[in-house]
Structure 1
Amino acid sequence: MLGTVLLLLALAKPVCPSPSGAASRRAEALKKLLEVFGMEDPPPPPAHSKQPPQYMVDLFNTVANADGVTKNPDILEGNTVRSFLDKTHSEEMRFLFILSSVARNEKILTAELHLFRLWPRATDGPKRQHFCQVSIYQVLERSEPDAPAGKKLLATKLVSLQGSGWEVFSITQAVRDWTEDESSNQGLVVTVQGPGGSPLNTPPLRFASGRDHHESKKPMLVLFTDDGRRGASLPTAGFPDLQPPAPILTDKKLTGRRSPRSLDRLQPCQRHPLSVDFEEIGWSGWIISPRGYNAYHCKGSCPFPLGENMRPTNHATVQSIINALKLSEGVSSPCCVPDKLYSINLLYFDDDENVVLKQYDDMVAGSCGCH
């Protein structure tokens, strides 16, 4: 996969414009690059200057460095996180999230309802409550959500009346139902009661609505999924060391007489920078982070005898020997290729202006070796 990406990136921005084939060649290259990212077409940029939910930005910064490279592959559950904002824009505690952008092949791992708890209303008298019981229901009958058969309890917990902040409720089963049958998505309803489930005439606890509060406090559904895409089974590790490779010292007399291509053959196998700039590709409108990343590529010779610094496989060592001794016709020397690959993360707006965090395997050459 990485080799395909490198080729496509090289084609994405031609050095010299050519009259007829350049545009179609660029379009085909970008189409193939979109396939690497699991898309048919690039999502359109948001219609206005829309800010991503802070939760999604914080999550991206937790799982990835500034270039999008995964810090630790075990942090993220699955490889996709989707966020959806409430579509009811109602003052009542009823919420509806449209999940049409979730692909059929995505496995639903966890679904969370995020509600921002506002400062409580002031109450007088000695019976002031310190907690309220908050219950989340899946609506089964939109016309009669308060009837016994009109809703199903999903989650309940005691919520403090001190201060404000986000409250998170698990609603995984409801979302699985909705993705299996889109017509069953009648939304959610939230109730606030006393600690023992007692009714409250004026509940002191309120949550931000999708209509009257700032974008950063709007009700949100966060969905953790896995689309089944997996990369090659190359060795992996924790946080990668992606420092530029050390320069190679060469004989000045040799460099004066050799062509650049012959010099490449004289240099041992090593990793070289390969910058991917999403703005140059034309994707900066819908990609939030990163603005680009260093994919790196492997280049250089694998001369006999292969030392440990070449990180050769046993097969490469044998092939090198056979090639050096001319024991068999048509056997070339081993090739300089990535022997460790890392994933990157993209934070972007999808077709419905939902914010998605997606992890892609095998996108960065972590090190090179002779294979």
Structure 2
Amino acid sequence: MNTSVLFITILALFLLADCSELPFQERMLLKALGLNGRPRPVAPGPVPKALWKIFEQGINSENPCRMEGFQVPGNIVRSYKDQGPLMSSEIPHGSLCFRKYLFFDLSVVEKKEEVTLGQLEIKFKHNTYQGHVFQLQLYHPLHMSLKGMRDHSMNRKLLFAQSFRLLHKSLYFNLTKVAQDWAKAENNMGLVLEILADVDTSRTNHFSSSCEQIDFFIHTSFLTVSLDPTSCKASRTKRSAESSLPTPSNICSKRRLYIDFKDVGWQNWVIAPRGYMANYCHGECPYPLTEMLKGTNHAVLQTLVHSIEPEITPLPCCAPTKLSPISMLYYDNNDNVVLRHYEDMVVDECGCK
């Protein structure tokens, strides 16, 4: 059975199950979603606007494995919080205002995924514009530990150097190759961010006030887009008109099933949607199979044999013949914000197999 169809089946059973049966069924559900346990967000970050925008736009049915918002292949977007500490509590010296070690844990990216985009966002949450010019320098450490980073400042590679002013805008840096290396945990040595004030350092008060603007209002986050090829399918054909034709109540057809994540206690970590119309297939596949029942060649022969030997050969099963994907926005086990496209989550049409 397809993983997503299994997810719908287990979730339907989950809603009807006795409380003593829930732990095992929930583990099965979470495994189908690619999670190792129920996420329990403690201090989750805000949902990036880019992820909300992609979620609200929906999935491109012609190319469900491409993130149009970023113009790259992918069906999973993750946003990571910075876990790195300040490298020093010393008073800034020279023109240096700020030095910070940035670390984003990409260990949740599975081996089967291909990272197609890595993007660093640096935002300065400032309410006023003073006109001060700063210089940003971003380094990639080379074979060094965090403990020795201050003593080996030369053992690093400059990735970006850029001048900027404090505005209500974010700075974005494409770090796709770095993110591809970070997907292998042993290669993740983080980044070093330095910000220097472009002022006359002899004007101490001016320099100090400029640096304070940086210290208190900086925010960094990292975003990856990755492609899980096992979850991708070819583009879908348009729904046929006959799928909307009325059918007798006992004949194989699509039935309505709405899944509410609150019913299974997932409302604390599933951000959106709060629920969705999953549907299911139910009904008989009688002989002779009509074209409306979309029977496979095997199903047609099976119904023929059943009409001759009903006690030996059962009728074919009513099963999904067309499914569509949904997007889910949620917090994972590391409090990262994840947007993921899941294939085959909604039953659109049913037939006999």
In the superposition, the TM-score normalised over structure 2's length comes to 0.73
CA distance in 1, matches of 2:289, 2:247: 19
Tell me which residue corresponds to 1:73. 64
SS at match of 1:92: strand
SS at match of 1:369: strand
CA distance in 2, matches of 1:286, 1:341: 25
Confirm or deny: 8 A CA contact 1:12 1:30 kept in the other structure. Answer: yes
Change over 3 Å in CA distance of 1:14–1:297 after alignment to 2: closer
Tell me which residue corresponds to 1:92. 98
**Two-structure CA RMSD over aligned residues (Å):** 4.0
Write the deviation string for residues 212-237 of structure 1: whole angstroms up to 9, x where unpaired.
34xxx832100122355437x6x752
Q: CA deviation at 1:74?
A: 3.6
2:25 is matched with which residue: 6, 29, 38?
29
Change over 3 Å in CA distance of 1:11–1:147 after alignment to 2: closer
Change over 3 Å in CA distance of 1:163–1:75 after alignment to 2: same
Q: Which shifted more, 283-292 or 50-59?
A: 50-59
What does residue range 72-221 of structure 1 map to in structure 2 within 5 Å?
72-76=63-67, 77-88=73-84, 92=98, 94-99=100-105, 101-105=107-111, 106-116=113-123, 121-122=130-131, 136-140=138-142, 149-155=154-160, 164-182=168-186, 184-189=188-193, 212-213=216-217, 218-221=219-222
Tell me which residue corresponds to 2:89. none
Q: CA deviation at 1:247?
A: 8.5
SS at match of 1:39: coil
What does residue range 257-272 of structure 1 map to in structure 2 within 5 Å?
264=250, 267=251, 269-272=252-255
Q: Which amino acid aligns with 2:183?
A: T
SS at match of 2:51: helix
Confirm or deny: 8 A CA contact 1:298 1:368 kept in the other structure. Answer: yes
CA distance in 2, matches of 1:354, 1:6: 25
In the superposition, the TM-score normalised over structure 1's length comes to 0.70
Confirm or deny: 8 A CA contact 1:112 1:221 kept in the other structure. Answer: yes
Tell me which residue corresponds to 1:255. none
Tell me which residue corresponds to 1:257. none
Confirm or deny: 8 A CA contact 1:46 1:349 kept in the other structure. Answer: no
CA distance in 2, matches of 1:23, 1:356: 29
Change over 3 Å in CA distance of 1:162–1:190 after alignment to 2: closer
Higher relative strand content: 2
CA distance in 2, matches of 1:286, 1:101: 20
Q: Which shifted more, 355-364 or 287-296?
A: 355-364
1:331 is matched with which residue: 301, 313, 317?
313
CA distance in 2, matches of 1:111, 1:60: 19
CA distance in 2, matches of 1:356, 1:70: 20
CA distance in 2, matches of 1:348, 1:139: 32
1:40 is matched with which residue: 36, 42, 65?
36
Task: Structure 2: give runs of 5+ residues left out of the alignment.
Answer: 68-72, 87-96, 202-206
The share of aligned pairs that are identical, in percent, is: 27
CA distance in 1, matches of 2:136, 2:22: 54
CA distance in 1, matches of 2:299, 2:326: 29
Query: Does the alignment pair 1:59 with 2:54?
Result: yes
CA distance in 2, matches of 1:184, 1:246: 53
SS at match of 2:31: helix
SS at match of 2:254: strand
Change over 3 Å in CA distance of 1:96–1:160 after alignment to 2: closer
- How many corresponding residue pairs? 320
Task: Structure 1: give runs of 5+ residues left out of the alignment.
Answer: 16-21, 124-128, 194-198, 251-262
